[in-house]
Chains A and B, each alone.
Chain A
Amino acid sequence: MKQAIPERFLISPFLAFFVIHAAQIGVGALSFQRPLMKEAGQDAWIVVLLAGLAAHGLVWLMYRLFSYSPSGGDIVSLHEQYFGRWIGGVLSLGLLFYYALVALTVLQSYIEIIKVWVFPLMGAWQFSLVFLLLTYYAVLGGFRVVAGLCVWGVVIPLLTIFPMVFFPLEYAQYRNLFPVFDHSFGQLVKASKEMTLQYLGFEMLLMYYPFLKNAPSSQKWAHAANAFTTFIYLVVMLISIVFYNKEQIQHITWPTLTLAKIPEVPFIERMEYIVISIYVLVVFPIITISVWAAMRVVKQLFAVQQRRSLPVLLAVLFVGTLFVQEKTDIDRLMKWTAEAGFYLAAVYIPLLYVYVWAAEKVKKALQQKP
């Protein structure tokens, strides 16, 4: 459990860019404009930047945190090192639940989109079954397969979906951006909490950190990934501000998908269906990586083979998708995940860092005394 992971399982540091970016942009990117513009109106793009900066700080903090951990350690071994087997184990178990919750939320909200837009008569279970079987296959392939999925989950949507958000500029009302700073700083900070779920994804790093070759050197890639995520949210937000007005957007459930209704090509009139289909590639890496992270927690804690524990987790997720079906339930689930992620990334990680930092100080002082 403590020994370093063999090199053939590791990934290059620059791949951290894809893994983090893929995990950050998910179903939230289709609907984040609505709560943001409700709170901050035309200044919503500033909120995106503020939240992006905060995420940068947290990524930095995570890397600092790992500088205290023994080589090849992840959050589970860190917990054990500083809190002992039992308390540390309970904390890691909390992490396991969180990762499972992320997987369930993403899967369920994507299924909801499919059901609303494409196949209204389809049952959730058929889709979730296929999806979870694929997840089983990918996660058993190990972290390198998961990272490979993330690469394609970034590159393909970037080349296909991202250009589509520029077509609505045909209807742009640039005056919607003015007056800038019509909202107080307090309002903007309050609104930036709505961006939590959108920037979350970097906290998976807590589990795969030891899988990065020469891990500390991957920090610049992690920051680059976060900066790129900020950039994409910023572009989508700016386009949404000039395309919709504040009142109108409150009546649209997935503003990004409605943006995709604008481009028209002769052989296919409705691009949003293409976007939804390609979005599988955005959603799938998030599910695999969170399931993988959850499995990793199990393996580190109980030394159970993934082959055994994975079907159990996937079965739980499958049953979960059967129960959470109504829109209000899915919204509540998303809210819980955002809340849990917020407390994990923005509250727990800083506290843990302070604790570890203090413990190291104390340890050093004790060592110097005799």
Chain B
Amino acid sequence: MRRGLAWIGALLLLSGCASSRPIDEIQIIQQMGYDFENGRYTGTAVYPTFKQGPMTKPNMLTTTSPTIYDLIPRLSSKSALPIEEGQLRLILFGQEFARRGVTQITHSLARNNKVGSHLLLGVAEESARELLKITAKTTLSDTLYLPNVVEQNEQSMNLPKTNLHLFLYRYFSPGSDPFLPYFEKKGDFVKLEGVALFRDDKYVGHVSLRDSFLMKILLGETKNGVYQLKVGNRGKQGEDRVMLQNLWAKPKYEWKRDGSRHALDVFVHIHASVRDYPSWLDHPGDDLFDDVKKKMENELEHNMRRLFRYFQKKRIDPLGIGDFVRSVTRHWDPDAFYREYPDIDIRPHVTVDIVHTGIGE
């Protein structure tokens, strides 16, 4: 009896503490864009408005301010309902904004207990506001168009996994640099273009979606991704390319001393299926495929070397090579490593196993 009373008392007292926020009395921001234009910061929030039934219509709020932190309070002054950021799914940085560094935003997100670790971040080729405007206009009911594009491409295509946790992980790690999905405006559409690369928190360049396949494999994400390779010189367009689908791949790094400088051997073993291949390859029992395999390996190695050299030239380490070297070096010194980084001899070795070519030959 007394126990029951105690519980009831506790429930009554505690239930008074919660400030409830019914869904139709708040403005749920689902996407947020940050831009830097003409010396001022621009914030864009995309929120759904609920029409009849399940139909939602994306809507936008935009505001400018000389500082970053008061963008959300300023947005509030344009909104009839209190703004809630607990459902944020994507934050898009305009390129100019990303160039100036995104630390302020990411640090404030890391501290914000309302935001989940799965929040996606991205970079827009020009202005984040333009991009969000397009998605809000063209998509009828889907306010989560961009987050879905990113998630879909991470799961089944070439994009390496990114989110707030991974961004912060790579940002804080002394042995790696962060990267994010990179979007472009194509006419009236938004297109995922590749991966935006950062040095510390500043945008420094991007690689194409094709190269991001290599990044994905080199990062140790074992599955998915497609890659088109040129295997012949038959001239006729499209007739000499092979479409490779990664089924399972694993990179292995080896760090060694090679004379006066260090060398990194990267062994990549790809189990792939060939999705599409030209008709002249279609001779069962022929050794043609062995020849083609060799060509694929060479081309993959060549492209990886090119990618590594690009990263070294930019002095960025999105693949976390520093992190790997730390794990095999006692008392690793990040400064010394990154002084040497552009001169490290990185040697990719690729083996391709073609598991199958589909259900027909």
**Inside 8 A of B117's CB, which chain A residues have their CB?**
258, 261-262
**Inside 8 A of A177's CB, which chain B residues have their CB?**
327
Q: Find the B residue at minimum CB distance from A176.
A: B327
Bound-state CA distance A121–B174 (Å) is 38
Query: Once the chains bind, are A248 and B172 in contact (CB under 8 Å)?
Result: yes
Q: Find the B residue at minimum CB distance from A261.
A: B117
Known: A126-B17, A171-B166, A173-B323. A247 touches B6 (CB 8 A): no
B156 at the interface (CB under 8 A from A): no
B355 at the interface (CB under 8 A from A): no
B80 at the interface (CB under 8 A from A): no
List CB contacts (< 8 Å) of B60-114 with chain A. 107, 110, 113
A133 at the interface (CB under 8 A from B): yes
**Inside 8 A of B331's CB, which chain A residues have their CB?**
182
Shortest CB-to-CB span from B258 to chain A, Å, is 21
Q: Find the A residue at minimum CB distance from B87.
A: A269
**Inside 8 A of A171's CB, which chain B residues have their CB?**
165-166, 169
Bound-state CA distance A248–B117 (Å) is 13
**Inside 8 A of B166's CB, which chain A residues have their CB?**
171
B118 at the interface (CB under 8 A from A): yes
Bound-state CA distance A126–B16 (Å) is 10
Interface residue from A122, A134, A178, A182 paired with B17 (Cβ < 8 Å): A122
Q: Find the B residue at minimum CB distance from A251.
A: B110
Known: A133-B6, A178-B327, A182-B331. A247 touches B173 (CB 8 A): yes
Query: Once the chains bind, are A179 and B3 in contact (CB under 8 Å)?
Result: no
Query: Once the chains bind, are B172 and A262 in contact (CB under 8 Å)?
Result: no
Query: Once the chains bind, are B18 and A251 in contact (CB under 8 Å)?
Result: no
Looking at B7-15, B25-33, B301-309, the stretch in contact with chain A turns out to be B7-15
Q: Find the B residue at minimum CB distance from A177.
A: B327
Query: Once the chains bind, are A182 and B14 in contact (CB under 8 Å)?
Result: no
Kindly supply a per-residue 1/0 record for chain A positions 87-117, scoring 1 wherever the CB is within 8 Å of any chain B CB and 0 otherwise: 0000000000000000000000000000011
Kindly supply a per-residue 1/0 record for chain B positions 107-143, scoring 1 wherever the CB is within 8 Å of any chain A CB and 0 otherwise: 1001001001110000000000000000000000000
Q: Find the B residue at minimum CB distance from A141.
A: B3
Q: Find the A residue at minimum CB distance from B161.
A: A171
Bound-state CA distance A137–B324 (Å) is 55
**Inside 8 A of B6's CB, which chain A residues have their CB?**
133-134, 137
Most chain A C-beta atoms within 10 Å of own C-beta, residue among B10, B107, B113, B174: B113
List CB contacts (< 8 Å) of A119-136 with chain B. 119, 121-122, 126-127, 129-130, 133-134
**Inside 8 A of B16's CB, which chain A residues have their CB?**
126
Query: Once the chains bind, are B323 and A261 in contact (CB under 8 Å)?
Result: no
Shortest CB-to-CB span from A146 to chain B, Å, is 15
Bound-state CA distance A262–B169 (Å) is 14
**Inside 8 A of B328's CB, which chain A residues have their CB?**
178-179
Interface size on A, residues (CB 8 A): 33
**Inside 8 A of B165's CB, which chain A residues have their CB?**
171, 261-262
Bound-state CA distance A176–B113 (Å) is 26
Shortest CB-to-CB span from A119 to chain B, Å, is 5
Kindly supply a per-residue 1/0 record for chain A positions 333-355, scoring 1 wherever the CB is within 8 Å of any chain B CB and 0 otherwise: 00000000000000000000000
**Inside 8 A of A129's CB, which chain B residues have their CB?**
13
Known: A171-B166, A251-B110. A245 touches B327 (CB 8 A): no
List CB contacts (< 8 Å) of B194-226 with chain A. none
B329 at the interface (CB under 8 A from A): yes
B52 at the interface (CB under 8 A from A): no
List CB contacts (< 8 Å) of A223-256 with chain B. 244-245, 247-248, 251-252
Shortest CB-to-CB span from A112 to chain B, Å, is 13
Known: A121-B19, A247-B173, A262-B165. A130 touches B13 (CB 8 A): yes
Question: What are the nearest 5 A-B pairs in CB distance?
Answer: A248-B172, A175-B327, A178-B327, A247-B172, A261-B117
Q: Please, could you name 5 A-B residue pairs with CB atoms under 8 Å apart, sorted by A?
A: A173-B323, A179-B327, A247-B174, A251-B110, A272-B113
Can you name 14 extra interface pairs (CB under 8 A) apart from A133-B9, A179-B330, A272-B113?
A121-B17, A127-B14, A137-B6, A173-B169, A176-B323, A244-B169, A245-B169, A247-B173, A248-B169, A248-B173, A252-B110, A262-B117, A264-B118, A270-B116
Task: Point out residues on A near B: beta carbons under 8 Å.
Answer: 116-117, 119, 121-122, 126-127, 129-130, 133-134, 137, 171, 173, 175-179, 182, 244-245, 247-248, 251-252, 258, 261-262, 264, 269-270, 272
